[in-house]
Amino acid sequence: MAKKTQKKLSPWEIVQIARHAERPNIADYTRLMCEDFVELHGDRLFGDDRGLIGGFATIGGERVMLIGHRKGRGVEENIEANFGMASPEGYRKAMRLMRLAEKYGLPVVSLVDTPGAYPGSEAEARGQAEAIAHNLEFMSTLKTPVVIVVTGEGGSGGALGIAVGDRILMLENAVYSVISPEGCASILWRDGTKAALAAETLKITADSLKGLGVIDEIVPEPEGGAHADVAQAVAAVRKAVLASLSALKKVPVAELVDRRYAKFAAMGRF
């Protein structure tokens, strides 16, 4: 019997899947992908952001530093995590943990899933732009392998603040963009109802970004999206992460850093 062909989804339909409330979040990945996970807290400057978490983890016997945006399950968790929108202390905590990874020779695995960095006045007052910019600079020369996985929404600088790496993986129905489709539509056409058109224009899907050279690999999802079979989706991410780590560990650190810098410097050249 011939295999049923899946319907090709529009970019706007993929946006809805990427935002699905039951899509695997970092708690699912630490539970199903890691043999152990020890969370570390605080940026040693202001506080502990619950919208971006990280700590020591073991994945398939590989010791890593795992960091990622945190979206909750339900209203209370979402409010605590600020719906995955990190504040400056979240990005500074991530950098502190990446420094530890470099010190102990551990690879960094970063899970990206955020609508964007928190835009509130208090976050701006504490240096939101500076914190993200400092992370971009720091990650570009981090002397250890870095694997990025865009698992859901990869929104603007809030995503990029933990997304400078040697290998950029992206789930099949994730999105990654400089701005949300709604935000783009309101700026370009002053009409938020044109979000679907903006999603098409922005080229935010995994297929488009792979073609543009922004990401390196697309991780397949179960039919219907990662939320349809969380265990299968997490297993696919685990397999892809381990394959990337295996390849990157064979590259001398100095060469790894040079390649990473060149990779991002070349983006946008056609």
CA dist 34 → 63, 137, 246 (Å): 10, 29, 16
Q: What is the distance of C-alpha 137 from the center of its chain? A: 17
**What's the average model confidence in pLDDT over 173-198?**
93
> Which pTM was predicted?
0.93
pLDDT digits (tens, 9 = 90+) for 91-129: 999 999 999 999 999 999 999 999 999 999 999 999 999
pLDDT of 6 reads 59
Domains plus CATH for the chain? 11-261 (3.90.226.10)
**Helices and strands (H, E) in the chain, number of each type:** 12, 8
At residue 19 the predicted structure's pLDDT band, cuts being 50, 70 and 90, is very high
Residue 3 has pLDDT above 60, yes or no: no
Burial of 179 (0-12, 13-18, 19+ CB in 10 A): middle
At residue 1 the predicted structure's pLDDT band, cuts being 50, 70 and 90, is very low
Q: What is the distance of C-alpha 34 from the center of its chain? A: 17
- Choose between 3 and 53: higher pLDDT: 53
- Axis crossing angle, helix 181-188 with helix 195-202, rounded to the nearest 10: 100
| Least confident window among 1-5, 144-148, 249-253 | 1-5
pLDDT digits (tens, 9 = 90+) for 62-86: 999 999 999 988 888 889 988 889 9
Nearest Cα neighbor of 110 from 131, 123, 93 is: 93
